[in-house]
Amino acid sequence: MKNVLSGIQPTGDLHLGNYFGAVKNWVKLQSEYKCHFSVVDYHSMTMPYNPIQLRENTWKMAFYLLACGVKLENLFIQSLVPEHLELAWVLGSTASYGELTRMTQFKDKTDQLKESDKDAFVSVGLFSYPVLQAADILIYHAEYVPVGKDQEQHLELSRNIAQRFNNQFGKEYFVQPEPLFTETPKILSPADPTRKMSKSLGEKHYINLFGEEDRVRKQIKSAVTDTGDTPEGEMSAGVGNLFELLRACEQMEAHDSLMDDYKAGALRYSDLKEAVANAIVDLINPFKERYEAILADKKAVKGQIQESSAAIRQIARQTMREVREITGLPTLRS
């Protein structure tokens, strides 16, 4: 069975973009592949953060993933497998400085930091973030990595790192991982459909998967439909995004009938929005119920996640034993 690995940062809420772009796929892949899904808390230390919040958000994200249908035995917390860092150090010498400076996520996050303070502190952690991501993937010999389109460049780097390591040590040791994209690669912000749905843009730009029904309905009701710059005869990005959400929620009947209205020039935006809001509410209600059940049993579930992380750690340890052998480090006493 082929291996799959993916990760998500514990940055608070989980939104519809994360779900349709990544997590929905994770849940589906579990029946076909050997899967490992990680809450990547080490990665979240690369931007300014609060320690109490990091710990809280890490558990919260793990619970959210379980509520979405990720299986307990496939779920782990990155920092409970510290071998990822050891491999990242080794791989750091197979990635070049120039290559890392070209990473768009690094550039975007640097710009974001400098927006509020032009002399902002940009950490080495933020710079070498993609090397740690490569280690996350390679340590499990993952063939496939289900992520959103924005992670394509990081995956390309992971492949280069794997190949360079193999060439350097004359051994086909690491697998070159391929990204797996979903059919809904990009969900847009309801408040500004020229940008992708994202937490970093602020609360009105994302729809929380575990949010209140009233808020979801309000957000869809006030979703921007016309931005004024759509060429004649083309569908605006905002309307396109609402149709995309219906499709993503697998409401094809409503989608097709509203699309017929649109083509006939008879679409009422209020009807489209109502259908989208209903579809989202129906999607998220069961997730919210499962999340509440997990919270009611929080302590036990935390213990179970620690156990699954410890079990997954055994795979990472084995890889590191082999990597130490290959790269000329002495054997650890075990």
Q: At 211, is the secondary structure helix, strand, or coil?
A: coil
Of the residues 34, 71, 186, 199, only one is catalytic, namely: 199
Beta strand pairing status for 178-180 and 144-146? parallel
| Residue 196 bears catalytic tag | yes
Tell me which of ligand TRP, ligand AMP, none is bound by residue 137, counting a contact when its beta carbon lies within the kind-specific cut-off of 5 to 8 angstroms.
ligand TRP
Which residue in 147, 175, 248, 305 binds ligand TRP (CB under 6 A)?
147
**Distance between the two ends of the chain, CA-based, in angstroms?**
29
Note if 109 is an active site residue: yes
Q: Measuring CA to CA, which residue among 1, 314, 6, 43 is closest to residue 177? A: 6
How many Cα neighbours within 13 Å face the side chain of 133? 32
Near ligand TRP by CB under 6 A, which window of 3-11, 25-33, 248-256, 311-319?
A: 3-11
Among 3, 4, 5, 8, binds ligand AMP (CB under 6 A): 8
Residues in a beta bridge with 180: 146
The one-character DSSP state at 168 is: H
The whole-angstrom separation of Cα 220 and Cα 19 is 17
Q: Which is nearer to ligand TRP, 8 or 62 (CB)?
A: 8
Positive or negative, the Cα torsion across 46, 52, 53, 59?
positive
The 40-59 contact track toward ligand TRP, x by CB under 6 A, reads: x--x----------------
Choices 27-35, 54-62, 194-202, 226-234; region in contact with ligand AMP by CB under 6 A: 194-202
Cβ of residue 111: shortest distance to ligand TRP, in angstroms? 16
The verdict on 133 binding ligand TRP (CB under 6 A) reads yes
Nearer to ligand AMP by C-beta: 248 or 323? Answer: 248
Contacts of 105 (CB under 8 A, 6+ apart): 129, 130, 150, 153, 154
Show contacts with ligand TRP in window 73-92 (CB under 6 A). none
Partner from ligand TRP, ligand AMP, none binding residue 153, C-beta < 5-8 Å depending on class? none
Does 187 engage in binding with ligand AMP (CB under 6 A)?
A: yes
Among residues 137, 209, 284, 301, the one that binds ligand TRP under rule CB under 6 A: 137
Strand order across the 178-180 sheet: 75-77, 34-39, 3-8, 144-146, 178-180
Residue 113 binds to ligand TRP (criterion: CB under 6 A): no
Which does residue 17 touch among ligand TRP, ligand AMP, none (CB within 5 to 8 A, set by kind)?
Answer: ligand AMP
CA distances from residue 251 to 153, 257, 258, 267 in whole angstroms, order as listed:
32, 10, 11, 17
C-alpha count within 13 angstroms, C-beta hemisphere, residue 115: 9
Among 41, 83, 86, 136, binds ligand TRP (CB under 6 A): 136
Element (H, E) at 94: none
Residues of this chain that interact with ligand TRP (CB under 6 A) are: 5-9, 40, 43, 133, 136-137, 145, 147, 151, 154
Query: Which residues are the active-site residues?
Result: 109, 196, 199
Q: Which residues bind ligand AMP (CB under 6 A)?
A: 8-9, 11, 17-18, 21-22, 147-148, 150-151, 186-187, 196-198
